[in-house]
Structure formats: C-alpha cells, structure tokens
Amino acid sequence: MGDNQSSGWSRSAAAAAPAIDRRALENQIGKAGDPEQCCTELSRIFGVRPDEIGLLRLENGLLRFLFPRELASGGAIPLSHPTAVAAQTAVARKAVLFNTFTKVKHANIFESIKLHVEEDEGFRPATIHKLMSAPVVDKAEKVLGVLQICRKGFDPASAGPDFTIQDLQKLEFVTKAIAQLGFMCQE
C-alpha cells in the first residue's frame, strides 16, 4: 500500500481490520459540549496533541475553523480552492490519509499561524508530515464540515508513527458522532 491511502478499501480488507468499538467512540465524542472539548477528546483517541486536530464547519460554501480557535481568525477556505485538502475532502466526500504530506501540494497558510497550545508547551514544529482528513456528514448526507488529524514534527520520524487504515476507519466513525453535535449543525 502506498503512502497516500483512502478509505475506499474492499469489504474483505475492511473485515480484516481489527474491530473498532463504535459505541465507545460515539460515547466519548457525544459528551463534548463545544469544539474544544470535542477536539481534546479526539487528541486522546488518536494519540496526538490538541494542536494536531483541525475541525472545520461548512458555512455558505466556506470551511471555517472551529478548532483550533486561533485559526478561526485566519480566514476561511472556499470549497472551490484547488489545493486545500479540507476543501477537496468536503467536495469528494471521501476520507483520505497522507503519510508523506509534505510531498502533497496543499494550501499551507494555516500552518504559519502560531497556536496558543504551542506557546504553552514551548516551541513545537508547525510542519505537518502526516495527515488524515474526513468529511463530517449528517444523516441526510449533507456535508457539515471536515475533521483533520495530523502529526507535526521537524521531519517524518519526529512527527510520530504513520497513520493506518484502522486510524482512518476510526476517523470515519468519529465524524458520524461529530455530525450529531449541536455546534456542527449551527449556521
């Protein structure tokens, strides 16, 4: 399997993956009252720092960051943006992962914004080396936003382990729970 993977595996591959406790994930996420609580829980679930979670809500054709809150003031991403992975994820309605993300042509304006979490914990590298991105879709199949989980580092090794198909499957499960949270449905 290559570095860039998507969730379009066959039924046999999905069946071979270790079972993920959907209910446990839904319960963990379902208790979140706001984007910050949700993303804090997501950081625990995926074993990443809170500054490695991005939650965007779709509003009038634009993706706006709900978390990290510092990125909310950085502008919005139009769905028509040709290189924004979040926009491509929302339009394609397909989860993707990249374990060599620095090789992917992408909009990196948001990577240059200093996050409060980074200040609290000392210097943290802003380079995203590994990324998973999935649409947040409600039961009526309406795209509400995008959830992204990344691993940052000085180089691929310092960014941590590669994401797996099981991680991507877990991401798809949690996006279903996030779609039911009130703050995702607000316009």
> Per 3-state DSSP, what percentage of the chain is helix, strand, and coil (rounded to 5)?
40, 20, 35
CA angle 132, 67, 85 (to 5 degrees): 35
Q: Whole-angstrom Cα distance, residue 94 to residue 136?
A: 10
pLDDT in tens, 56-88: 999 999 999 999 888 777 778 999 998 899 999
Whose tokens are 């804090």? That residue is 40
Please give the domain boundaries of the chain with CATH numbers for all domains.
21-185 (3.30.450.40)
pLDDT at 30 over 80: yes
With 0.75 as the threshold, say if the pTM is over it.
yes
Percentage of the residues of the chain whose pLDDT score is greater than 70: 77
For the chain, give the number of residues. Answer: 187
pLDDT in tens, 117-172: 444 455 555 788 999 999 999 999 999 999 999 998 888 899 999 999 999 999 99
- What the block records as the tokens of 117 is 């979490």
